[in-house]
Amino acid sequence: MRRTFLSVCFALVATAAFAEGPVVNSLAFHNVHIRVPDPPKAAEWYVKYAGATAGRAPQLIFFGKTLIEFVKDEAAQPSVGSVIDHIGLSYADLDAKMKDFAAGGAKVLNPARDIPGLFKVAFVEDLWGTKIEVVQDSEQLGFHHVHLRVSDPAATLGWYQSMLGGQRGQLKGKIDGLNYGGVWLLAASSGAEKPAPSAGHAIWNIAWLVPNVDDAVAALKSRGVKTTVEPRSINTVRYAFVEDPNGIAIEFIHNNPQP
């Protein structure tokens, strides 16, 4: 019954928005927040073993233009079991990178294997409970995707497209998703299981760069989307948080002009 109700809600919102274009014209996929007990230590680990680039602050790293910010949290649960199941990182040589992860103490969940028509893939878990799909996709190296676990994947992708835009397509012609400037948003079925909201888990949120945070939040509020953190500023950064119908925390961000 809950799945049917959510599907109807997704469909009604998506149908209305598709007729007008996306509610928010997102500019790019921007970041994920990962909760760990020691943010600088986690950032150092990702630079050393995962190939990230260090940011200007000790808790920040980059894969290309995509930011990962580590936030201090002593009690965050693993990403598995949450609506944001894992992130995907892509490398030119997966076998070599798996040796790096092993050297760093990552837990190997599934060893590397070739998937015909797709790419070579493996799964690991970092030292703090974040599940990572490690792929060898030469067309998109670095931060590759975010994979959601939801009751209705098609309806969820429709909601994101109607709310935030994105290019609907199939990864390698096989996996439905939305592409935001090279970063894929994918969604898999959770089956009979009801995943927990992302808050409280290792992968806390997903985030988009938008032209104006206040306008984005106002537009989504008019569509009944729940705001969890009202727009506010830290130095030159303006941000806010909303929540999708699955319980996924979404951050919007823009940079305030320098005075």
| Domain ranges (residues) in the chain | 2-255
Question: Residue 145: pLDDT above 90?
Answer: yes
H-only helix segments in 127-206:
153-164
Q: How far is it, in rounded angstroms, from Cα 5 to Cα 7?
A: 5
pTM recorded for the entire structure: 0.91
Average pLDDT over residues 251-255: 96
Burial class for 192, CB neighbours closer than 10 Å (0-12, 13-18, 19+) = exposed
Tell me what pLDDT residue 256 has: 79
Contact 26, 180 (CB under 8 A): yes
Question: Residue 59: pLDDT above 90?
Answer: yes
Q: Which two tokens stand for residue 95?
A: 């076998």
Backbone CA torsion sign across 3, 6, 12, 14: negative
Average pLDDT over residues 53-73: 97
Which of these ranges, 195-199, 241-245, 253-257, has the smallest mean pLDDT?
253-257
Look-up: residue for tokens 């992302």?
198
Q: How far is it, in rounded angstroms, from Cα 102 to Cα 3?
A: 39
Beta bridge partners of 67: 31, 62
CATH code reported for the domain at 2-255 = 3.10.180.10
Beta-carbon contacts of 248 under 8 Å, excluding residues fewer than 6 positions away, are 83, 84, 148, 197, 198, 205, 206
Tell me what pLDDT residue 19 has: 55
Q: Which amino acid is at 88?
A: G
Compute CA distances 11 → 59, 97, 187, 216, whole Å.
Answer: 39, 41, 16, 21
Q: How many CA atoms lie within 13 A of 114 on its CB side?
A: 3
Average pLDDT over residues 175-194: 96
pLDDT, tens digit, 9 for 90 and up, residues 199-220: 999 999 999 999 999 999 999 9
Beta bridge partners of 178: 168, 185
Question: Residue 241: pLDDT above 50?
Answer: yes
